[in-house]
Amino acid sequence: MQYLLQKGPLVIRRAEKSDIPDITALIQALALYEKMPEACLATDELIEQSIFERGEAQVLMAEYDGKVAGFSLYFYNYSTWMARKGLYLEDLFVYPEMRGKGIGKALILQLAKIAAKEGCGRFEWCCLDWNEPSIQFYKSLGAKPMDEWTIYRLEGEALSKLAEEGE
């Protein structure tokens, strides 16, 4: 196992294939926390294929006293203006009973170190507008909201319909 941080009872490490059931459980717990469990389609099989076989994303696992406490899932995007890659945090989640122990901050710090080491031009993520505890946490780290930007999304039937127009 590759430990990125080992500090007292807290360990941050890169995920391994044996973590797949825990990653899936964390994603499902996050979907429940974000009040959208029905939208969560993640399965062990899909996690294995997308992360461990195709390398579409990377995962850091957090353990506290030997128990899975949380995770962060990230991938790289690209800034044309900076002409450099960026690190995009897709999800960060710490089980409620593990919060207040510095786990979320440790995960963010490790991602910042990865971004800096790899020459990323920026490190960014999205946060639901009702998630005030997370918003305050991110601001305390020096992160700034990008309120002038609106995220657009195509998925499901709308994505399929648009793709078919090009045929």
Q: What burial class does residue 111 get, using C-beta atoms within 10 Å of its C-beta: 0-12 exposed, 13-18 middle, 19+ buried? A: buried
Q: What angle do CA 20, 25, 30 make, to 5 degrees?
A: 125
- Active-site residue, 138 included: yes
- Do residues 137 and 104 touch, judged by C-beta distance below 8 A? yes
* Gap between the Cα atoms of 27 and 150, Å rounded: 24
- Candidate list 64, 78, 138, 152, residue with the active-site label: 138
| 30 contacts 79 by C-beta, under 8 angstroms | no
Distance CA 135, CA 133 (A): 6
Q: Tell me how far apart the alpha carbons of residues 64 and 69 are, in angstroms, rounded to a whole number.
A: 6
Q: Which residues are catalytic, by number?
A: 138
